[in-house]
Amino acid sequence: MGELDDFRKAKDDFFRSDPQSPLTREQRSTFKGLRYFPEDPALDLKVNLEAFPGRKRVNIMTNTGDAQSYIRLGRFDFTIGGETASLTVYANEHGYFLPFADSQAGKETYGAGRYLEPEELPDRRLKVDFNLAYNPYCAYNENWSCPITPPENRVMVPIRAGEMTYEEHP
């Protein structure tokens, strides 16, 4: 098993058995594992962030009507299947944050979007590995409050990497 497979197995184990799991007790009792796209090395990117002047603070609304504060850092371009798209990276006290929704949102991927936490590389580029894209906890349980993907991060390309939509098994 590879590193990504080990990560996914550990995540499934956490969802199935940990009291901090986003799943309810009832959901955990029938949980058979999350669904993932196959690993795609072409979607493990190292990108240059084009910084926004001033890096202003913005509020991102959540599914429960609250707002969370982030710094709007900058934007990067990438290409998938010959199509170019752009995404904005945010940050807060926990680090980098990349909420996004692709053209498969509401079909193969969670309709409200998925998340990533890019890593800063020694050369100041960001590592953006879409294979690690995950659903927010509110995708599993409405009791969680999750930032809603901003319109600027809704792209028209399919990003078939990371977690797929969650399906409960009765």
- pLDDT tens for 91-118 read 999 999 999 999 999 999 999 999 999 9
- Is 96 a member of any domain? yes
- Is 165 a member of any domain? no
Helix, strand, coil shares, percent, the chain, to 5: 20, 35, 45
pLDDT at 124 over 70: yes
103 lies in which domain range?
A: 39-153
- Run of H or E residues at 118: none
- Mean pLDDT to the nearest integer, 127-138: 97
Average pLDDT, the chain: 94
Report the pLDDT value the prediction gives residue 98, as an integer from 0 to 100: 98
pTM over 0.85: yes
| Residue 51 near residue 137, CB atoms below 8 Å | no
Q: Is 162 left (phi over 0), alpha (psi -120 to 50) or beta?
A: left
Of the pLDDT bands very low, low, confident and very high (cuts 50, 70, 90), residue 167 is confident
Torsion sign across C-alpha atoms 154, 88, 140, 62: negative
Question: Do 25 and 51 belong to one domain?
Answer: no
Of the pLDDT bands very low, low, confident and very high (cuts 50, 70, 90), residue 141 is confident
Question: Do 13 and 45 belong to one domain?
Answer: no
Q: Is 86 helix (H, G, I), strand (E, B) or coil?
A: strand
| Residue 101 near residue 156, CB atoms below 8 Å | no
Q: How many structural domains are present in the chain?
A: 2
